[in-house]
Amino acid sequence: MEPILRIGEKMYFNRLLVFGGLFIIGGMMLIDGMPQFGSAHGKAKQWIDPFLDVTGLWQGSWELFAPTPDHVNVQVGATIYWKTGTTTEWFQPDWSSMNPWEKMSSFREMSYYDNIWRDQNSAGWDALCRHIAA
């Protein structure tokens, strides 16, 4: 009698699971990242959107060139009024003056500043002000 499961078969099955999972996740990210070109693509995006939101894989809006490029440039700043009567002005780092390493290492921070100024994120304004004043 031959054994039902050989040693190599179990390892191969695990490898198939890993590659299959990577293929599925990569495909979902590809569907999400491509511009919508039909109703089936739109339905696929709607179907995978909750999964990408929960896992943090959602890539956000990439409206750099088309169809409607982002024309809003915002620089978040604050004026701090101290009890002594002095004031201090603070501004977020200037993205255009950063070198590539600084841009890469502070990308999430800059993304935070790009979104915090919107009214829908007003709940975070107090925490940002306390952080700046500290």
pLDDT digits (tens, 9 = 90+) for 4-39: 555 555 556 778 888 999 999 888 888 887 777 788
What's the whole-model pTM score?
0.47
Q: Are residues 41 and 82 in the same domain?
A: no
**Residue 64 maps to a domain:** no
pLDDT above 80: residue 118? yes
Closest CA to 51 of 20, 27, 35, 34: 27
| Within-domain flag for 97 | yes
- Domains in the chain, number: 2
81 sits in the region (left: phi over 0; alpha: psi -120 to 50; else beta) called beta
- Count of alpha carbons within 13 Å of 78, Cβ hemisphere only? 19
Domain assignment of residue 87, given as a range:
77-133
Please indicate, yes or no, whether residues 39 and 82 belong to a single structural domain of this protein: no
Please report whether residue 68 resides in a domain.
no
Q: Is residue 66 part of a domain?
A: no
Q: What pLDDT shows up at residue 35?
A: 73
Residue 116 neighbours by CB distance under 10 Å: 16
Q: Please state whether the peptide bond connecting residue 67 to the residue before it is cis, i.e. omega within 30 degrees of 0.
A: yes
